[in-house]
Amino acid sequence: MCSRCRRTTGNAPFPYPYRRHRPSACTQPGHPPRPYSLPWEKPEGKLRTVNLLFRWTDELHIRARGYNELVWKPALSAVGVIPKPVKGKRGRKRYATDRESGMHALRHFYASVTLADCVNIKELGEYLGHHDPGFTLRTYAHMLLSSHERARRAIDARMFRPRAVSGASDGT
């Protein structure tokens, strides 16, 4: 796996799915990653520099609110997930959304998918940028599989795989 396909959150790598890894997706000709510095954890925090591959039209970082209003919500509206926008008091388009249909919902979807496949809660917290695994556990505990379901999956994965048996007749 190429080194650019891992985004660092603290000291923990964020793993990209193997089937999505394509070297061409790491960098595009003429659009290499650029260093960008922002304060870490709080506005007066220590500056931290990372290489940004995806940038906004002004070459700066993608701002969540701008992306939400200009990309995410129009896409949801276009496919009928949320209603069409209405004009606000200042004449701007306003979308009626809630937390379930906002960008933050993607974090919860990611967490639920990884927990369903038994990713360690501590590692998930690192991938999501949480500093306290207890916070991750409190937030997502309701999504964890029961120990009975984990045990069932573990045994099913080891015991019930179709395989050839030596000395078995081939039916001829």
Q: Are 136 and 104 within 8 A, CB to CB?
A: no
Q: Is 80 exceeded by the pLDDT of residue 49?
A: yes
Give pLDDT, residue 140.
87
What are the angstrom distances between the C-alpha of 107 and each of 13, 38, 134, 169?
16, 22, 17, 51
What are the angstrom distances between the C-alpha of 106 and each of 25, 83, 101, 103, 138?
21, 19, 9, 6, 18
pTM (two decimals): 0.56
List the domain boundaries for the chain. 32-56, 63-97, 103-159
Contacts of 59 (CB under 8 A, 6+ apart): 34
Q: Which residues of 105-139 are buried (b: 16+ CB within 10 A; e: fewer)?
A: eeeeeebeebbeeeeebeebbbbbebeeeeebeeb
Count of positions (residues) in the chain: 172
Of the candidates 89, 130, 95, which has an alpha carbon nearest to the alpha carbon of residue 111?
Answer: 130
Give pLDDT, residue 46.
92
Q: How far apart are CA 63 and CA 72, in angstroms?
A: 12
Q: How far apart are CA 21 and CA 102, in angstroms?
A: 26
Residue recorded with tokens 């969540």: 64
- More reliable by pLDDT, 141 or 100: 141
Q: Are 53 and 33 within 8 A, CB to CB?
A: yes
pLDDT class of 78 with cuts at 50, 70, 90:
very high
Give pLDDT, residue 147.
74
